[in-house]
Amino acid sequence: SYVLTQPPSMSVAPGQTARITCGGNNIRSKNVHWYQQEPGQAPVLVVYDSTDRPSGIPERFSGSNSGNTATLTISRVEAGDEADYYCQVWDRSTDWLFGGGTKLTVL
């Protein structure tokens, strides 16, 4: 069955760039969606179809997808970006699948 691999945690200083990865076999062939989740809150879609940004999401959030790795990039990180981030894809073996999540800490 298909597997998505995310680093459990990462930290970044304010103003720097965070790159959160999501690894999967030939993931470039899939549409990857990214969600942000703050503690006690429902997830929020921040990137869909690998590179598109929903209305209302700051331009600081962007996505890319190549080879076996999809990446969510957060530029000029702010304290308010501290949250858990999940990637998501559809695969015929697992239907909808989430990565394990990455806890982003803003130093």
Q: Does 36 bind other proteins (CB under 8 A)?
A: no
Comparing CB distances to other proteins, the nearer of 27 and 33 is: 33
Binder of other proteins out of 70, 88, 104, 106 (CB under 8 A)? 88
Extract the tokens encoding 22: 């999501």
As a whole number of angstroms, the distance between CA 47 and CA 40 comes to 21
Binding piece for other proteins, criterion CB under 8 A, among 9-17, 21-29, 40-48, 59-67: 40-48
As a whole number of angstroms, the distance between CA 16 and CA 89 comes to 28
Residue 29 phi, psi (nearest 5): -85, 0
Binding piece for other proteins, criterion CB under 8 A, among 17-25, 60-68, 72-80, 83-91: 83-91
Q: 18 and 10 in contact (C-beta within 8 Å)?
A: yes
Positions of E strands within the chain: 9-12, 18-23, 33-37, 44-47, 61-66, 69-74, 83-91, 95-98, 102-106
In the complex, least distance from residue 59 CB atom to other proteins, rounded to whole angstroms: 18
Binding piece for other proteins, criterion CB under 8 A, among 18-26, 28-36, 65-73, 74-82: 28-36
Site residues (CB under 8 A) for other proteins, limited to 49-78: 49, 54
Total residues at the site for other proteins (CB under 8 A)? 22
